[in-house]
């Protein structure tokens, strides 16, 4: 298993995993493949963002993140993970932790001083949160999503 930067040639597999990721979120945002493809292309071409894949015989996982100045202190470069997916049959292997480590290394090498990771409620939140804490992350915020309907 190895981790590498994604290329636009990887888009079919990234889009497959993106759809599976979106189905787990449980939010009422409909997955739009064209939008996700545009986002991925933009991230692949941007030096303040990254998309990485884990692959053995085929691509089995992806992770993506971006860097930006903190909104209240532009001298502080921070980053955030946007999507982290490993196919279910590979979750007990090394792919997930390799992707996580590669993303964190990329952020450090790019000059980030802090980095944020997220966990999605339906996907074994306790296990993921414990792993984050073992890696030195602390809880600073919880996100809540509400569907807004306009009449």
What Rg do the C-alpha atoms of the chain give, in angstroms? 16
| Residue 22 domain flag | yes
| Residue 146 domain flag | no
User: How many other C-beta atoms are found inside a 10 Å radius of the C-beta of residue 86?
Assistant: 23
As for how many domains the chain has, the answer is 1
CA gap 87, 17 in Å, rounded:
8
CA gap 23, 111 in Å, rounded:
33
- Which residue intervals of 26-124 are DSSP H helices? 33-44, 95-109
Percent of the chain with pLDDT over 70: 94
Identify the pLDDT of residue 126. Answer: 78
Residue 122 makes CB contacts below 8 A (sequence gap 6+) with: 24, 25, 26
Assign 100 a pLDDT band (cuts: 50, 70, 90).
very high
Assign 102 a pLDDT band (cuts: 50, 70, 90).
very high
Going by C-alpha positions, the residue among 67, 151, 61 that lies closest to residue 109 is: 67
Taking the complete model, does pTM exceed 0.75, yes or no? yes
| Residue 43 domain flag | yes
Q: What is the CATH number of the domain that holds 107?
A: 3.40.630.30
Whether the per-residue pLDDT at 27 is higher than 70: the answer is: no
Give the residue numbers spanning the domain of 39: 2-134
Identify the pLDDT of residue 151. Answer: 60
Looking up tokens 């944020």 gives 116
pLDDT in tens, 104-118: 999 999 999 999 988
| Residue 150 domain flag | no
| Residue 105 domain flag | yes
CA gap 151, 149 in Å, rounded:
7
| Residue 147 domain flag | no
């Amino acid at each position: 298993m190895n981790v590498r930067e994604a290329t636009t040639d990887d888009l079919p597999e990234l889009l497959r995993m993106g759809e599976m990721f979106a189905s787990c979120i449980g939010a009422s945002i409909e997955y739009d493949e064209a939008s996700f493809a545009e986002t991925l292309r933009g991230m692949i071409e941007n030096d303040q963002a990254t998309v990485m894949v884990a692959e053995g015989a085929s691509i089995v996982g992806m992770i993506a993140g971006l860097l930006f100045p903190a909104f209240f202190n532009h001298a502080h470069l921070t980053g955030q993970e946007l999507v982290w997916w490993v196919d279910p049959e590979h979750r007990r292997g090394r792919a997930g932790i390799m992707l996580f480590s590669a993303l964190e290394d990329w952020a450090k090498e790019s000059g980030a001083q802090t980095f944020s990771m997220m966990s999605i409620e339906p996907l074994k939140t306790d296990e993921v949160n414990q792993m984050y804490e073992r890696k030195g992350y602390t809880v600073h915020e919880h996100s809540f999503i509400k569907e807004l309907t306009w009449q």
